[in-house]
Amino acid sequence: MRFGHFDDDAREYVITTPRTPYPWINYLGTEQFFGLISHSGGGYCFYRDARFRRLTRYRYNNVPTDVGGRYYFIHDGGDFWTPGWAPVKRDLDRFECRHGLSYTQITGERNGLRAEVLHLVPLATNAEVHRVTLKNLGKSPRSAKLFSFVEFCLWNAWDDQTNYQRNFSTGEVEVDGSTIYHKTEYRERRDHYAVYGVNAPVAGFDTDRESFFGLWNSWGEAQVVAEGRSRDSVASGWAPIGSHQLAVSLAPGEEKSFVFVLGYVENPAEEKWERPGVINKTPARELLARFQSADQVDAAMAEIRDYWSGMLSKYTARTGDPRVDRMVNIWNPYQCMVTFNMSRSASYFETGIGRGMGFRDSNQDLLGFVHLVPERARERILDIAATQFPDGSAYHQYQPLTKRGNNDVGSGFNDDPVWLIEGVAAYIKETGDLSILKEDVPFDNDPKNTGTLFEHLKRSFHHVLNNRGPHGLPLIGRADWNDCLNLNCFSEQPDEPFQTTGNRVGKTAESVFIAGLFVHSAPDYADLAEAMGFADEAKDAREAAAQMSQVVLEHGWDGDWFLRAYDFFGQKVGSRECEEGQIFIEPQGYCVMAGIGVEGGQAGRALDSVKARLATAHGIVLHQPAYTRYHVELGEISTYPPGYKENAGIFCHNNPWVTIAETVLGRGDQAFDYWKSTAPAFREEISEVHRLEPYCYAQMIAGRDAPRHGEAKNAWLTGTAAWNWVAITQHILGVRPELAGLRVSPCLPGSIGELEVTRQCRGAEYRVKVTNSGKRKPARVVVDGKPVEGTLVPWAAEGGTVKIEVAV
Ligand code: GLC
Ligand code: GLC
C-alpha cells in the first residue's frame, strides 16, 4: 500500500494523506541552520548544534506522536483547522505534502479555503522561511484569521527538557510590531536570540504558552485559535512561544501570501544591547528585510533548486527502471547530504542531544558525499583526523561545535582508525587533491603535537598491526563496526554502558571483520604512500595485507564462511560450533570486498552461505541463529529481542557490503536483488509493512525472528545511505573514480539492458553508454571512438567531455 507517490520531474515525494504509518519527515537547510519537518509540519529547528542551539521545542516519544512544530491555524467563522491536518485534525477536503530537496510544501483545503505553506531555509541564511498562501476557492468573498505558532526551546535542548525549577522562571521575549524576539538567557552569557516575524501588520500576538492554549487544553484546542482572539500576552518566565494573528479578506478566487521568518541572530559581545534591557535588533531587521515579498521567497527557492541541480548533475543515470533512477539521481545523494550534515545527531529517532559526530560514521558518510561538495569533505576530514590519538587510536565521537573528542565514550573501538583511510582515499580519488596528505593536523586536538594527514593514516594502519591477538588477527577493543559486539565488557549491572564499562583491555578478543577492513584499505593506503614518495612503506603495507589475508584464511575461516571473531576466552564467534550466532554478515561482505578467498573459492562459498542462511525478502539479517538469551561474554548484541537491531535484525548499513561483494564475483543479478531488497523506492508498495519514508533508507528493518518482520526503524541518519550509494553507482552501475582514472566496470543484472551514466569529475564530463548482453567478459571499452585495454579511462583535461562506450 502506498501513501503518496514520487514526482520525479519535481524531485519530490508527494504524500496524499496525513495518516501515514509514521511521521514522514524532511530536512530543511544546507549548511548551518537546519529544520526537521514532518508531513504535517511537526519538528524543530536549530543552528549548527541540535543540542546547544535549538530554537524550537520538540517532545520526543510523545502521545500522540509528532506534536510540536510550526503550525499555521486557520480560524474561519468559528471553524478552525490546520493545513497539515495535525494538530487540530479537522477533516480536510484535500491534503498534500510535497517533500522536496531542502524544502517542504504542505497544502490543506477545507470549505473552499486553501492554505499552502512552503517551508525552506534559504541558502546562506540562518532562518526558516514559511510562506503561507491563502486562496478563496469559493464564489463569495470571505474573511478568515490566520494564527501562526512556534514554541521556543531555551537553547540547550537537554536542559530544556529536564531543568524546570530554573526554566519556568527564565523565559523572556520582546515584541516589536509584527516581530517577536525570544531572548531567554540573553541578559547573561548568550549573545544570540531567535526572531519570528511576518511581512504584514498583525491584529494581535501571543508569546506566553498558557495564554495561547489555556492551561488544560491540548494542541488541537488552543483557546486563542478556537475563540479567534489573541491575548497579546508577553511571556515572563514559564514557556515562551511566538504567535501572530493576521486578518485576511479574500475576494472570490483571490489569494494572498504572508512570509514568516524564524531565524537565529548573533551579536558581537560589545553590541548586544540597543539600550539597557533592549536587545540590538539590527541584524534581525536585516534578516527580515531579505524576505519581505513572495517574490523574494521564489528567488530563494530558485537558488535552492539550482544548488541541487548542480549537485545532482555530478552523477546521473538512466537505467530504464524509474525506481533505480530516482534512487541514484535524487534521493540517495540527498540522504547522503543529510547524513553528512547531521551525522547521527538529529532525526525522529536521534534526539539531537545524544551522540555528536562519530569517527567511523563520519568517515563512512564521506563515501557518499565526497562527490557532492569536495571542499566540505576536505574540511571534515581534517576535523575528524584531529581527534585521533598519537598511537593511532581515536575518539569514538566528537562534538560538532567544539570539534573536541567526547570523553564519556573515549576511544578503544579498534576499527575506528581504519575508516580514516577509507574516507581520505575516497576524497583523493574524487578530487586528485594529494595536497591534503601534507596538511598539518593535530593529534587529540593538541596544536603542539601534530603530524601530516599522511602521518595520521600511517598511525591508523599501524594501529591495527600493533594491536594483534593470539591468532595474529586484529584485537577488537571495545567493539568494531558492530557497536554491540562487546567482547571485553562483561556487564552484569543494568545501569552501566555495554561498551565502556569493565573493559578488560583484553589481549585475546580478535575481530575478523577488522582484518577484512584492514586488507580492503591496504591497497589505497599503499597507493597514497607511493604518491607521497614512501615506496618502502607502500611495499610493507602490501605485504602486511597479504599476510593478514593468509591469517584470515587460516584462522578466520570456518569451512563455509568467515568467522566473526574470537572472544575474550579465545572461543569462536560466528562459527558452526556456536550454540547461537553461527554466521555473521559483516566478515562475509568485507572480506570478499577485500578480495580474500576470491581465488581459493572461499569467497564464493561465504556468499552462498549468506544467501542460504541470512537472506530474506526484506534484506539480509545480521546473523543467525539470533541470540535468545543474554551472553555476557558477547555483550549488547544479545540484549535485543531476536530480530531487532544488532541481534539478527536487517541492519541495512552492512547489506551493501554483500551487494558489492557479489559484484567482486561478477554476480550482477544477485547483487541487484540484494540492493533492491532494502532500497526505499522498491519498498514503497509495502509502505504499510515498512512504515517509514519510501524515499530514504532506514538503519534497521526487523529480521525474520521478529514478529514485525519487514518493519523499518531509524530512518535517515545511517551509514546505509553512503554505502548503498557506493554499491549501486560504483559497483553495479560500475562507474567510480580511482587515482589514475575513471573505472568503468559495470556488473549489471539482466534486467538492465542499456545504461547511460553521466559523471562529472575533476572538471571534466564523462558520458558512459553501456550495452549489457551479460555475455561479454572482459568488457569491451571504447573511449572517444578508440578501443582501449581494460576498464580504466584516464582522467581528461579540465573542461573536456569524454565519450565512453562499454559492451558487457
Ligand atoms: C550504528 C552506529 C554505527 C555502528 C552500527 C552498528 O549505526 O552509528 O557506528 O557501526 O550502529 O552497531
Ligand atoms: C546502541 C545501538 C547501536 C548504536 C549504539 C551507539 O548500541 O544498538 O546501533 O550504534 O548504540 O552508541
Straight-line distance from the first to the last Cα atom of the chain, in angstroms, rounded to the nearest whole number: 37
Per DSSP, the three-state class of 448 is strand
| Closest to 528 measured CA to CA, from 622, 424, 617, 606 | 424
**Contacts with 317 (C-beta within 8 Å, 6 or more apart), sequence order:** 324, 325, 328, 329, 729, 733, 755, 756, 757, 758
Q: Can you give the pLDDT at residue 726?
A: 98
Q: Can you give the pLDDT at residue 497?
A: 86
Q: Which one-letter DSSP state was computed for residue 183?
A: -
Which of the listed residues 365, 367, 481, 701 should we mutate to test ligand 1's pocket, taking the one with most ligand atoms within 8 A of CB? 481
**Contacts with 233 (C-beta within 8 Å, 6 or more apart), sequence order:** 205, 206, 207, 208, 211, 212
Whether residue 484 has its Cβ less than 6 Å from ligand 1: yes
Beta bridge partners of 755: 770
Q: Can you give the pLDDT at residue 180?
A: 99
In ligand 2, which atom is closest to the CA atom of 498? 7
Per DSSP, the three-state class of 523 is helix
CA–centroid distance, residue 531 to ligand 2 (Å): 37
What is the average per-residue pLDDT within 363-391?
Answer: 97
Q: Can you give the pLDDT at residue 221?
A: 97
Round to whole Å and give the CA distance between 453 and 438: 6
* DSSP one-letter string for 484-521: T--TTT----TTS-TTTSS----SS-EEHHHHHHHHHH
Whether the pLDDT of residue 503 is over 70: the answer is no
Average pLDDT of the chain is 97
Q: Can you give the pLDDT at residue 76?
A: 96
**Contacts with 481 (C-beta within 8 Å, 6 or more apart), sequence order:** 360, 415, 513, 517, 586, 654
CA–centroid distance, residue 484 to ligand 2 (Å): 7
For 657-680, the pLDDT digits (tens) are 999 999 999 999 999 999 999 999
In ligand 1, which atom is closest to the CA atom of 699? 7
For 66-109, the pLDDT digits (tens) are 999 999 999 999 999 999 999 999 999 999 999 999 999 999 99
In ligand 1, which atom is closest to the CA atom of 481? 10
What is the average per-residue pLDDT within 271-280?
Answer: 96
| Closest to 558 measured CA to CA, from 605, 600, 590 | 605
- CA distances, 574 to each of 69, 358, 557, 566, 568 (Å): 46, 26, 10, 9, 14
What is the average per-residue pLDDT within 15-21?
Answer: 98
Whether residue 699 has its Cβ less than 6 Å from ligand 1: yes
Whether the pLDDT of residue 502 is over 80: the answer is no
What is the average per-residue pLDDT within 312-328?
Answer: 98
CA–centroid distance, residue 588 to ligand 1 (Å): 18
Question: Which residue is closest in CA terms to ligand 1's atom 9?
Answer: 361
Which grid coordinates are listed for 592? 570478499
Which grid coordinates are listed for 442? 593535530
Q: Can you give the pLDDT at residue 774?
A: 83
CA–centroid distance, residue 499 to ligand 2 (Å): 10
What is the average per-residue pLDDT within 44-51?
Answer: 95
Q: Can you give the pLDDT at residue 505?
A: 67
pLDDT confidence bin for 504, thresholds 50/70/90:
low
CA–centroid distance, residue 721 to ligand 1 (Å): 13
For 607-636, the pLDDT digits (tens) are 999 999 999 999 999 999 999 999 999 999
Whether residue 332 has its Cβ less than 6 Å from ligand 1: no
Beta bridge partners of 616: 619
Q: Are 137 and 109 in contact (CB under 8 A)?
A: yes
Q: Report the alpha-carbon angle 640-645-647, nearest 5.
A: 55
Which residues lie with the beta carbon below 6 Å from any ligand 2 atom?
483-484, 636, 645-646
Round to whole Å and give the CA distance between 652 and 701: 7
Whether residue 361 has its Cβ less than 6 Å from ligand 1: yes
For 102-120, the pLDDT digits (tens) are 999 999 999 999 999 999 9
Q: Are 600 and 593 in contact (CB under 8 A)?
A: no
Q: Among the bound ligands, name the one nearest to the CA of residue 652.
A: 1
Whether the pLDDT of residue 356 is over 80: the answer is no
| Closest to 618 measured CA to CA, from 589, 651, 647 | 651
Residues across the chain: 808
Q: Can you give the pLDDT at residue 400?
A: 76
Q: Among the bound ligands, name the one nearest to the CA of residue 355.
A: 2
Whether residue 365 has its Cβ less than 6 Å from ligand 1: no
pTM, rounded to two decimals? 0.97
Whether residue 791 has its Cβ less than 6 Å from ligand 1: no
Whether residue 575 has its Cβ less than 6 Å from ligand 1: no
For 577-588, the pLDDT digits (tens) are 999 999 999 999
Q: Are 675 and 683 in contact (CB under 8 A)?
A: no
Beta bridge partners of 394: 388
* DSSP-derived pairing of the beta strands 510-511 and 565-566: antiparallel
Q: Which residues are catalytic?
A: 483
Q: Can you give the pLDDT at residue 788?
A: 95
Question: Which residue is closest in CA terms to ligand 2's atom 12?
Answer: 483
- CA distances, 408 to each of 285, 302, 560 (Å): 41, 44, 40
Give all strands (DSSP E) within 724-800, no chain letters: 735-737, 741-744, 754-761, 764-771, 780-783, 786-788, 792-794
Q: Report the alpha-carbon angle 493-494-498, nearest 5.
A: 80
| Closest to 154 measured CA to CA, from 240, 257, 26 | 240
Which grid coordinates are listed for 317? 543515470
